[in-house]
Amino acid sequence: MATILQTLKVSSVQRKVDRSPTQHRRDRLLNIIAEQMDAATAHAGGKPYAVTINRKVLNKFTGEKTTMNVPKRFRQCWWTADDGKTYMQLRYGTKLLEIAKGKTTIEVGEFAKLVPTLELIRDAVLLGEFDDLLTSASSRLAAQLRARRKDKADA
């Protein structure tokens, strides 16, 4: 009589979990774009956009750490100017992505074109067209972090 485990097909294949730094940066930007698309869709429908995350919070009185559901910080990437046109800027961390030489703003036009524009950007990220921009933004952020750490160490 066969046991349940003996009926399973077993192999020694290992799951690959390594991602290249380029793929990591792409995934991070894709998550930002997906969040912006969700917010734009909610805004178009007249609904508020709010995402909550679980965060460990220290209770001041008891000193106990508890997990709480708190609102996630969200910064929308688009705005409507006085001329009625919608514009957007993409950020990687705190750095604006320079889409063209010296230009960080994308003119969307009317608000209805915002989600399709974000979809175009998502497709460009998937094709690797943003890799150079992400690499330069990532290196600038890393340099800033190194400088902060050095300043803290010197103080």
Nearest to 99 by CA among 69, 73, 132, 58: 132
Identity at 30, one-letter amino acid code: L
How much is the pLDDT for 142? Answer: 85
Determine the number of helices (DSSP H) and then strands (DSSP E) in the chain: 3, 7
Per-position pLDDT tens, the chain of length 155 = 568 888 888 888 887 777 888 899 999 999 999 999 999 999 999 999 988 899 998 888 888 999 989 898 889 999 999 999 999 999 988 888 888 889 999 999 999 999 999 999 999 999 999 999 898 888 888 888 888 888 878 76
pLDDT at 147: 86
Q: Given this model, what pLDDT does residue 2 score?
A: 66
**Can you spell out the DSSP letters for 104-143?**
-EEEEESGGGHHHHHHHHHHHHHTTTTHHHHHHHHHHHHH
pLDDT at 152: 79
Distance, first Cα to last Cα, the chain: 72
| 3-state DSSP assignment of residue 60 | coil
CA distance 126 to 43: 25
Query: What's the chain's length in residues?
Result: 155
| pLDDT confidence of residue 34 | 95
Q: Where are the domains of the chain?
A: 21-46+76-154
Q: Which two tokens stand for residue 94?
A: 């705190």
* Cα–Cα distance, 87 to 82 (Å, whole number): 11
Helix or strand or coil: residue 71? strand
